[in-house]
Amino acid sequence: MPVATPAQYRAMIDAAQKGGYAYPAINVTSLPTINGALKAFAESKSDGIIQVSTGGGEFASGTSVKDMALGAIVLAEAVHILAARYDILVALHTDHCHPKNVEKFLKPLLAATKARREAGKGNLFNSHMFDGSELPLEENMRVSKELLQQCAELDIILEIEAGVVGGEEDGHDTSGVANDKLYTTPEDMLTVYETLNGIGRFMFAATFGNVHGAYKPGAVKLKPTILRDGQAAVTAKYGAAAEMDLVFHGGSGTPLEEIRETLGYGVIKMNIDTDTQYAFTRPIVGHMMKNYDGVLKIDGEVGDKKAYDPRSYLKKGEQGLCDRMKEACDDLLSTGKTIFGTV
């Protein structure tokens, strides 16, 4: 059962927190991206997290349907089936769900898990993210608290965010947000802990200058010590057991030393999307350029069916994504640390 049970997922997070490593969490949109991720985790002997965004779910449902929840269900069910052939654990998660999408994305997925449980099956997803960072903190926490209560009833972990990740992702553009909004304060972290502690397990995407998208090294000014200071504020007041499970968003172009630094401050999950999109697309572009006269019917010729068969280049995309995910496992120190078969 390589898709983790709720207990196994909690054990995964505990192991990462105790062991000083984090899980790559990759956004998938298709069977090739799912298979590339599973292959990478298996070859790295690393557990990992496979996640679906609202846009990814909408895409997976087809251009005629455009139902983000339906597409997410399709992708999750595919992971459940495919992951059974591997000897590592993966958890299923959904990425940024903004307030406007709660009713048409997050709640239908909670209902899908409830239906599976009533049918004697396991949870569809292990965790979900509610991103209320566009709301005032008080309103963000009110909604987060309500959703965490609903998740806890289904043994699901909720990821929340306070502070803003800059840039653009899935059509949500925060590139114009003031710089001070990109940094979560210790007071924010205390508020999050005090609001949600005791309701159910949660992960916190604290922001420390993170920006979605692709940037050259040095363009994004991260301040990982914000995580350190926030954790210190929480543990000073509530003890070492109050250390939160943190999530790193918007890390493209981050120097390795800064990635590793965050692991010491409680980061147990790092989202990987922009880099794997490029890693998937780059070998496909290479295929098209190398086989230009095969993938196109030029000057009345018939082309080369082997070159334009989608399988010929999607396999290359899958492998490119796999290679980048293996690099992520190494960067986050999860390589060789699967807990499969131990819990």
Q: Which residues are catalytic?
A: 95
Tokens representing 267? 């980061």
Other beta carbons within 10 Å of 19:
14
Cβ 316 vs Cβ 36: under 8 Å: no
| Dist CA 19 CA 242 (whole Å) | 17
Residue 314 burial class via C-beta count within 10 angstroms: exposed 0-12, middle 13-18, buried 19 and up: buried
Q: Where are the beta strands (DSSP E) in the chain?
A: 23-27, 48-52, 90-94, 127-130, 157-162, 168-169, 172-173, 202-206, 245-248, 267-272
Rounded distance between C-alpha atoms, residue 241 and residue 232, angstroms: 12
SS3 268: strand
